[in-house]
Amino acid sequence: MRAFLDMLHWFAGDQIRNVAAIGGNIMTASPISDLNPILMANESIATFRLHSRAKDRQVLMDQSFFPKYRTTCAEKGEVLLSVHLPFNGKDEYIKAYKQSKRREDDIAIVNAAMRVVFHPGTCKVLKFVAAFGGMAATSVMPEKTMQNMIGRMWTDDLIDNFAEWISEDFPLSLDAPGGMVEYREALAASLFFKFFLYVKNCLVERGVMDEKLAERDLSALHEAAHMDRQLKGKQTWQEVKVEQPPLDKVGRSLQHVAGELHATGEAVYVDDIPQCSSELYLCLVTSIRPHAFIREVDVSLASTSPGFVTYVDHRDVGGSNNIAIYHAMEEVFATEKVTCIGQVIGAVVADSQARAQRAAQLVKIDYEDISPVVITIEEAVSEKSFRSPIHKVVKGNAEETMTSCDQVIEGEVRTAGQEHFYMETQVCLAVPKDGEEMEVYSSNQDPEALQKTSSAVLGVGQNKVQVRVKRLGGGFGGKATRFLLLSSPVIVAAAKCGRPVRCMLTRQEDMSITGTRHPFLGKYKIGCTKEGRLVSLVLDLFSNGGNTQDSSMYVMAKAMINSDNCYCIPNMLIRGTVCKTNIVSNTAFRGFGAPQAMFIAESWITAVAERLGLSTEKVRETNLYRAGDLTHFNQVLETSNARRCWEECMKISQFDKRRIEVDAYNSKNRWRKRGLACVPTKFAIGIKEYRCQAGALINIYTDGSVYLTHGGTEMGQGLHTKMIQIASRCLGIPVSRIHISETSTTHVPNGGTTAGSLGSDMNGMAVKAACDEIVSRLAPIRKKFPELSWDKLILQAYMERVSLSATGFYRIPDMYSNWDVHTGTVKGRHSNYYTYGAAVSEVEVDCLTGDHVVLQTDIVMDVGRSLNPAIDIGQIEGGFVQGYGMFTMEEPLHAPSGHLLTVGPGAYKIPGFGDCPRQFNVHLLRNSENDKAIYSSKGIGEPPFFLSASVLYAIKSAVGSARNDSGIFGPFRMDAPATAERIRMACGDNFIKQHKHHADEKEERNLTPWSVTA
């Protein structure tokens, strides 16, 4: 019963457990059911009842209970009445285990329950019963293993025997559904080892066995999941000066202005807008082939479906079917061919969502396949399938100076994609008006782009398209461009039908259509002195851009700008290549290529340290930038707080003391290891110069209330809150008198995109400019009537016919770029300034499963003079946890045919509460100034993201200790994300070696793997 209760704790979440039933879980017959293996191992009895039968039927829950996938032995008409779960006896032990991608609220990769019964008072096996999930199409029992165990003594030789037997019972094929074949096989053996040690320890405690467990082996019995799960944290920041008036809220922790609306569910998003009686619903029709000509689209069957109104495709576009995304053209509807699964071909319009979705399924498309189909970066390199041009940056002479270096290290490392997983999926509502006008409600980060694109698609002027954005339910870059895939068809349909049309993608549709963060492959050659001073770097970056260009060239440029992270290298040669593949186009994501490049940088830093036998911290600190240094993009660092953040983080975290403690812990524990790492970051704040502009509008009404709007979009990051704080300071009035309703192209034209961590910088300055204009107009009246209150001052201004409406505009000065991507010469000022930070993370790794827990993270972040410390710290913590997903958990997987396998929250996991650091400390760097942004603040949305790489490098450190215990020394590769599978397989113990051997044998059969990483 204890095993059953323990497993229930990890079964789904509280909400699901509160409405679920054990009987339902049994009859679902999932091959990864968490409960069925326990019931089978415990030889439970299921009772079935048939209304036409007098007597109930009792069935033993064994191998035959689940004859095939998702099927039980229940006869037609039978219902499961009860399950009898026997209590265990004195000489009987049972334990259940579960391994998943995410510890909480996740399905199992492998689960197991094992039960052993001994001859009374001995350690001789009388019966051994085990059941596993995730090893076949049903919950299965290793029958040969169970038989072989009978009569054996519970001694160490069982461990290797079991590993061999279980491989024979569960011979997983390399193309087995679910993938991770080697890992699953190793898990089965590793879980038995845990069970073996657990039982042996029980027998020792009972006095049945004399030989105690080795002290270092006891760690295998410890479960990090059962550690103190209370999350704790500490935040510190620089308070405003004592002389700052209480009315002035800049620099104070003001609550998010819509926080209460979010918390209560009253905040209105696009799909909350009430439907009107004439409204229609749209459902996209997308490609199911990765590379093919479209021979015919047959809508005849769909047109007979109830509620069907029309079908729209490229023939219905009144303007242009080609739209510009980052200056690259892309089709709204595919015309002659498709280049990925999920590409939009057309759309069905019906009178309801359900009917539109049903009709869309009935559209038949005839394809003619085209070769080759390119999915991965490696395939693209083989096929030379690249976007042009290949970018190049040169600093010094990297290849020549490499020859004089004391050490030269070569290697490569990879990062996967990452799904945005915003809470609100892509959504659009288009309402046609008279005179060819179109009003568009959309969840997007760039209303200006939507206005431009809509006018091009409709063939009308931009002045006839009004875009309104109240708030986004998350964006993270995923709504910077790819929202156009949905908005354009919706607008075409609304124009064709003359009626409002709405569409909100399902989570599965959104993940299948909109793309992810760019996967990257980095190949490096790094030269250094014997002291660890970096001298020369040759770096080749490859990204998987997908089937269209989208923002891929700009993402690669940003990656190259940030490819030095925080390190000064005199000689650099960097080449950046965007791969053209047959997966959905990848796009912007928080960091915009920088996290991938900085991760690759930390990989060669680690490689240098491993080669020289130095600590990674020593190598990092030796090469940190200083003020006055020149970057590889030919920009002088006027200031640099990289070293300040580093030193303060090392001190606050007590790094040296904890390093000694971690080493001591590892020396005493074989199967649980701890790791500690400190990672810095330098994030370049800047985007293409023409985008470095913003506008704002302020209207003051005769009662003294203020309506403020600007070109930025609110996506939960607190932009509106900061803008109100800025306006409050400028006008000298309480924040309660200022209101922001929405972002609209009618109020602020040409507003640009909210991206690049520049939302507060640019819009804040535009708001200040508008407010300053109002203040200057009011100054003569204030001078005449100094005693007037704000309300009376405004009324007096109205009476004197002073305009109480003003616009503000701002452009970042001196931003220009002259980069010859062919020769690699760079001139100009690509970045307005840099945001710095450092993080120390400590982890504990279960070397038998690959599980880990983050024990503590300390962050020091340079945000200049924070406009709102609470919001900034929230951005730091949120960015860190989202980055933690990229570096340890999230990995979109494709079938070799191009189908995205990790679709929906069941298959794709993002971090949960249980994945947050147990102790999470954030400190804002004090006395940091920045004359390049509003009130000396700094952009904060993207810079903290990369600091979560400290977790990956802490994991790598822990795995290194495990490898050393297995007699494996020297450098090893750790790609991102460091999933439980990668962690476990990197540990290199005997279980891994044994199943690597089996995998090598299987590979000789030339089977296609179940999944690939793009």
**Which residue positions form the known binding site for FAD?**
11, 34, 80, 98
Which residue do the tokens 């209105």 mark? 268
- CB burial of residue 901 (10 Å; 0-12, 13-18, 19+): middle
Which residue do the tokens 């037997």 mark? 165
Helix axes 181-205, 990-1003, angle to 10 degrees: 150
Pairing of strands 344-350, 693-700: unpaired
Please, what sign has the CA dihedral across residues 822, 327, 517, 515? negative
Q: Whose CA is closest to 81, among 106, 116, 102, 51? A: 51
- What are the residues whose beta carbons fall under 8 Å from the beta carbon of 307, sequence distance 6 or more? 350, 351, 352, 355, 356, 359
Q: Which residues are annotated as a binding site for substrate?
A: 592
Pairing of strands 292-298, 364-369: antiparallel
Q: Which residues are annotated as a binding site?
A: 11, 34, 80, 98, 445, 476, 590, 592, 756
Round to whole Å and give the CA distance between 77 and 467: 56
Name the DSSP letter for residue 909.
-
Helix axes 759-784, 719-731, angle to 10 degrees: 20
Round to whole Å and give the CA distance between 612 and 623: 15
Q: Which residues are annotated as a binding site for Mo-molybdopterin?
A: 445, 476, 590, 756
Contact 522, 544 (CB under 8 A): no
Tokens of 56: 């109930």
Round to whole Å and give the CA distance between 26 and 65: 10
Q: Which residues pair with 286 in a beta bridge?
A: 344
Q: Whose CA is closest to 866, among 232, 233, 234, 236? A: 236
With helix as H, strand as E and coil as C, how does 52-95 read?
A: CCCCCEEEECCHHHCCECCECCCCCCCEEEEEECCCCCCCEEEE
Q: Whose CA is closest to 125, among 139, 111, 115? A: 115
Q: Could you tell me the end-to-end alpha-carbon distance of the chain, in angstroms, rounded to an integer?
A: 44
Round to whole Å and give the CA distance between 181 and 162: 18
Contact 793, 781 (CB under 8 A): yes
Round to whole Å and give the CA distance between 535 and 537: 7
Round to whole Å and give the CA distance between 414 and 914: 26
Helix axes 869-888, 594-612, angle to 10 degrees: 70
Name the DSSP letter for residue 254.
P
379: enclosing H helix or E strand? helix 377-383
- Single out the catalytic residue among 621, 942, 981, 1001: 942
Q: Is 400 a catalytic residue?
A: no
Query: For the residues of 248-288, what is the DSSP string, one character each?
Result: --TTS-PPPTTHHHHHHT----GGGSPPPTT-EEEEEEE-S
The Cβ of residue 740 has, within 10 Å, a number of other Cβ atoms equal to: 22
Contact 311, 320 (CB under 8 A): no
Residues designated catalytic: 942
